Structure 1
Amino acid sequence: MNLLSIVRPSFRFALILAAVLVAGAALAQRGRWWRGGGITTDRNGVPSWEVEENFPGDLFTFVRIKYDSYGGRGGGGGWATDYRDSDLNFSLRLQQLTSMKVNPEPIVLELTDERLFDYPFIYIIEPGSLVFDQAEVEALRRYCLNGGFLMVDDFWGDSQYENMRRELERVFPDRKPFEVPLEHEIFHNVYDMKEKPQVPAINAARRGMGGRGGSREYASDGSDTSEAHYRAITDDEGRIMVFICHNTDLGDGWEKEGENQWYFEEFSVKKAYPMGINIVTYAMTH
């Protein structure tokens, strides 16, 4: 058990992360995930849970970023891909599998929303056609350099990555993304990842030898998508402030956990949730 603490004075919040209570093997031992013990509301079957009313700010809230700009170079979907089941399921698993206090209601914000600085973690999905306007560029730069953490997920192939790289270059013209080595703590801080996980969309998942999962994801530009890449942009202290999950779709592993038992066991349990929990743990402790 590791005692984790938050060092993030630039944010207007008092979120406290206590000890992480889950061992690396816990996911695989569950078989099917337990969803009981909550208050089922209009959340597509995902239960809610009680939060401490006296400390409404002492919660981790999953924040998805809404963007309206299209016309990028790589194609792909939009900000609402996998919404809202992905965000609800991931929030539930954080609440169940760690001692983190989690808001049962994930939210959606735009980068220019003044509330952005109340939340230390934000999520952008399907950025193959994303083009920031100048106000978004400035807001994201200020957010990250003041201690915020951006996770980018679910885009495939060279042209979609190139679109995201160019947009991030506008945000950080003096910083370039680099491939994060498997030895980095973000792959091991809660769950000990033996490889960089690749999670395909559920309709692109394939069963290989011995039931082992693989991907049939294809890029619209025909480029190679066989290998997942995890890249980062860091601040002057070496803290990851942008974590880029390329040629993988962690969000589908969260959203689709209840649709197919094999996909759930092979991708949600082994890859999507462990990697997501590792990412959030890193974000909240650096």
Structure 2
Amino acid sequence: MRRWRRWGLALLVLLPALTVAAQGFRGRRRAPGNDPNPNVPYDGRFTFVRMRFEPLGGGWDLKWDHDYPRAETHFMKILEELTTVKPFLEGSNILAFDDPALFKYPVAYVSEPGYWSMNEQELAGLKAYVQKGGFLIFDDFAGTPQFRNFEFRWMQAFPGMTLVKLDRSHPLFDSFYHIESLDMDHPYYGAKAEFWGAFEDNDPAKRLVMIANFNNDIGDYMEWSDEGFLPIALSNEAYKLAVNYVVYAMTH
């Protein structure tokens, strides 16, 4: 694994030179009526799974689809280039928490949890997914009201599972890349990023079951990484974090 770190970082720095075919909508928001691509069949490879939900406030902006599908398309290419993980490159999946197919996939990504809502079936599905070993990545939310909604929804499913602000000492930040600093800014709002997690039995010595990128948006950094729209250094950090999340989840 250390061998991959040495040459992997060099590739990551050269990310803008990688040619990755963009799929579908190329902006931050998909237009109304621009339906997601069909889900792909399970074949044992690591597949990017994005969770869908009914957003608070309604409207055509679905929230959960922000940065889709470019963020996952770019990330799967990076994951293939830099690690021994065998990712599914031909597409990704969009699932709800009450979909039994979710249990086939060890990692799930939730965008905009500041607008997240769930019904009783989805709550039960979320709880079962985590209890069976699933790992969640929450991303793209900022500000106190959005954090409070995220916290409320999490506590609905796990009333006794405390949210903990993580620092660089946690093994997740050394699972593949050695993340030297967690000093990042939100790509648009300038807020300082924070990283929150939750542990099995509230025991930091046990498995971390989720990571929340608060005041951050690594999906956006990955979406625009081939455009030069956002700083290359921060796009690199976003990829390093995302790779670490997957490697941690696959090894714990």
TM-score, normalised by the number of residues in structure 2? 0.83
Amino acid aligned to 1:265: I
Distance of 1:150 and 1:26 partners within structure 2: 28
Distance 2:10 2:148 in 1: 37
Structure 1 residue 29 displacement after superposition = 4.4
**Among candidates 200, 207, 217, match of residue 239 of structure 1:** 207
Q: Decide which of 90, 110, 114 is 2:75's aligned counterpart.
A: 90
* Residue 195 (structure 2) aligns with: 230
What's the CA shift for 1:122?
Answer: 0.2
1:152 to 117, 122, 138: 138
User: Is 1:278 matched with 2:244?
Assistant: yes
Q: How does 1:4-15 map to 2 (within 5 A)?
A: none
- Using the alignment, how far apart are the partners of 1:32 and 1:65 within structure 2? 28
The offset of 1:238, in angstroms, is 1.5
* Partner-residue secondary structure (3-state), 1:186: helix
Identity of aligned residues (%): 29
1:95-123 Cα shifts (integer Å, max 9, x gaps): 11112100011111111111010000000
Instruction: Determine the C-alpha separation between the residues in 1 that align with 2:62 and 2:54.
Output: 12
Judge conservation of contact 2:74–2:223 (CA < 8 Å) in 1. yes
| Alignment root-mean-square deviation, CA | 2.6
Alignment of 1:99 onto 2:84: yes
Letter in structure 1 aligned against 2:196: R
| Secondary structure, counterpart of 2:179 in structure 1 | coil
CA–CA separation in structure 2 for the residues paired with 1:60 and 1:197? 29
Please report the TM-score for the alignment, with normalisation by the length of structure 1: 0.74
Unaligned 5+ runs, structure 2: 25-41
Question: Residues 43, 171 of structure 1: CA spacing in aligned structure 2 closer, same or farther, 3 A cutoff?
Answer: same
Deviating runs (4+, > 4 A) in structure 1?
none
Within 5 A, what are the aligned runs for 1:28-177?
29-30=13-14, 32-35=16-19, 43=23, 57-71=43-57, 78-104=63-89, 105-177=91-163
Partner residue, 1:182 = 168
Which residue in 1 is equivalent to 2:223?
A: 255
- Is the contact made by 1:256 and 1:264 (CA closer than 8 Å) also made in structure 2? no
Alpha-carbon separation, structure 2, partners of 1:134 and 1:266: 41
Report what 2:234 is aligned to. 267
Letter aligned with residue 97 of structure 1: L
Residue deviations 1:30-77 (CA, integer Å, cap 9, x gap): 2633237xxx6x836xxxxxxxxxxx63311110001124149xxx97
User: In structure 2, do the counterparts of structure 1 residues 31 and 250 end up closer, same or farther at CA, with 3 Å as the change threshold?
Assistant: closer
Pick the structure with greater CA Rg: 1
Query: Secondary structure at 1:64's aligned position in 2?
Result: strand
Q: Measured at CA, do residues 115 and 177 of structure 1 come closer, stay the same or move farther in structure 2, by a change above 3 Å?
A: same
Residue 17 of structure 2: SS of its match in structure 1?
Answer: coil
Structure 1, 140-149 or 180-189: larger mean CA deviation = 180-189
Counterpart residue identity of residue 4, structure 2: L
**2-structure distance, mates of 1:133, 1:62:** 23
Secondary structure of 1:25's match?
Answer: helix
C-alpha contact 1:199 1:253 (8 A) present in aligned 2: no
Change (3 A) 1:77 1:245: farther
CA distance in 2, matches of 1:100, 1:266: 24
Match for residue 5 of structure 1? none
CA–CA separation in structure 1 for the residues paired with 2:148 and 2:5: 37
Contact 1:199-1:250 at 8 Å conserved across structures: no
Q: Structure 2 vs 1, CA of residues 142 and 192 (structure 1 numbering), >3 Å: closer, same or farther? A: same
